[in-house]
């Protein structure tokens, strides 16, 4: 596939850090927010609406000197379930894997049932992932579509 000059620039190597690829372009700023990237001191490159054979358009984020924790990867999986994480060390990809939704989400998303105990007591929320599109609250059994959930 031909790359435009802009895309060449965006895929330029970082020495150490993490590349999050195949993010749906509509969720790119949700990913920035939920990973707290705007608060980082290291270099962050955000590329939106890049051509992708598989997805039509995709977005990519590169973060220098940052390696995400399992909890942060779980958060990422909620808004970008098909994203790919590449760990870069000394310009080499040392690890690459697709983000997957865990079976249980704890303290990541809010229950949209106003009378749910998790909205009325100081406690972390807990959801069971039914399939890649629906989650069920552990406490009130209310179901929500993943694409509509609100991040805690
Ligand atoms: Zn609930």
Domain map (residue ranges) of the chain: 5-98, 104-148
Q: What is the largest CA-CA distance in the chain?
A: 54
Q: Which residues have a beta carbon within 5 Å of ligand 1, which is an ion?
A: 111, 113, 116, 137, 139-140, 142
Q: What CATH code is assigned to 104-148?
A: 2.30.30.20
CA of 134 to the centre of ligand 1 (A): 13
CA of 149 to the centre of ligand 1 (A): 12
CA of 133 to the centre of ligand 1 (A): 17
CA of 72 to the centre of ligand 1 (A): 22
Instruction: Give the 3-state secondary structure of residue 94.
Output: strand
CA of 76 to the centre of ligand 1 (A): 21
How does pLDDT run across 120-150, given as a tens digit for each residue? 999 999 999 998 789 999 999 999 998 888 8
Distance of alpha carbon 44 from alpha carbon 11, whole angstroms: 12
**pTM of the complete model:** 0.81
CA of 110 to the centre of ligand 1 (A): 8
Q: Dig out the tokens for 42 from the structure.
A: 């290291």
Buried b (16+ CB within 10 A) or exposed e, 111-136: bebeebebbeeeeebbbebeeeeebb
Range with lowest mean pLDDT among 11-15, 28-32, 39-43, 129-133: 11-15
DSSP-H helix ranges across 66-118? 70-79
Instruction: Say what the pLDDT of residue 56 is.
Output: 78
Question: Which burial class, exposed, middle or buried, applies to 49 when counting CB atoms under 10 A from its CB (0-12, 13-18, 19+)?
Answer: exposed
Q: Would you identify the CATH topology of the domain 5-98?
A: Alpha-Beta Plaits (3.30.70)
Instruction: Give the 3-state secondary structure of residue 136.
Output: strand
CA of 140 to the centre of ligand 1 (A): 4
Distance of alpha carbon 94 from alpha carbon 69, whole angstroms: 16
57 pLDDT band, cuts 50/70/90, is: confident
What's the Cα-to-Cα distance from 151 to each of 14, 57, 94, 110, rounded to whole Å? 29, 24, 30, 6
């Amino acid at each position: 596939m031909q790359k435009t000059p802009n895309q060449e620039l965006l895929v330029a190597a970082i020495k150490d850090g993490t590349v999050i690829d195949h993010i749906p372009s509509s969720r790119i700023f949700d990913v920035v927010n939920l990973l707290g990237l705007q608060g980082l001191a290291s270099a962050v490159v955000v590329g939106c609406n890049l051509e992708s054979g598989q997805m039509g358009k995709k977005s990519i984020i590169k973060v220098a000197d940052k390696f995400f924790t399992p909890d942060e990867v779980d958060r990422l999986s909620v808004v970008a379930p098909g994203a790919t994480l590449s760990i870069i060390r000394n310009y080499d990809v040392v690890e690459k894997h697709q983000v997957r939704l865990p079976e249980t989400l704890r303290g990541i998303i809010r229950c949209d049932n106003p009378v749910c105990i998790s909205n009325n007591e100081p406690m972390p929320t807990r959801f069971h992932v039914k399939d890649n599109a629906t989650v069920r609250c552990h406490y009130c059994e209310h179901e929500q579509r993943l694409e509509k959930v609100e991040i805690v």
